[in-house]
Amino acid sequence: MAISIKRSGVVGNLSLTPLIDVVFLLLIFFLVTSQFEEEERRLNIVLPSATSASPMVHRPREIVVDVDAEGAIYLRGQPTDFAELRRLMVAAVAENPANQSVIIRADGETSFQPVVSVMDLCNRVGISDYSVTTREGPSPAD
């Protein structure tokens, strides 16, 4: 007795439309839920290079302070003075006393004094977790 095997036509008619819909929904979801920190990147600051630079990991409660080539201080893309910066840092430490952090983005051409002043301000208000951002590249001694 001969057995006949019938092939199904379902595999030949596989529709990709639901798969494409899911991909578009995932894309829209990630675009909507992503945080874009444009205010910290508005300024044209050329970061100094360091051989041991690591990528900056942004945590939700970080304060980003920019220092341009002339030594002017910016917070959220707006020029600010030390009194306003101190007020904001004191308020941030009051909300998050254990792990408040500050990232200092200084232009490579600026003098070191404004950077040291921001670091000193961090120490005075009780923020010990601060860092200076650099970009990866060869060191000037190489």
Report the pLDDT value the prediction gives residue 26, as an integer from 0 to 100: 92
Report percent pLDDT > 90 for the chain.
23
Q: Collapse the DSSP code of 87 into the 3-class scheme (helix H, G, I; strand E, B; otherwise coil) and give the result.
A: helix
Structure confidence by residue, pLDDT tens digits, 44-61: 777 777 766 655 544 457
**Lowest pLDDT segment from 19-33, 58-72, 104-118:** 58-72
Structure confidence by residue, pLDDT tens digits, 68-116: 989 899 988 889 999 999 999 898 888 887 788 899 998 888 888 999 9
Within 8 A by CB and 6+ apart from 95, the residues are: 61
Flag whether the pTM goes above 0.85.
Answer: no
Domain 39-136 bears CATH identifier 3.40.190.80: no
Domain layout of the chain by residue ranges = 39-136
Strand residue runs (E) in 25-141: 49-50, 62-67, 73-75, 78-80, 101-106, 129-132, 135-136
Q: Which tokens belong to 119? A: 């670091």
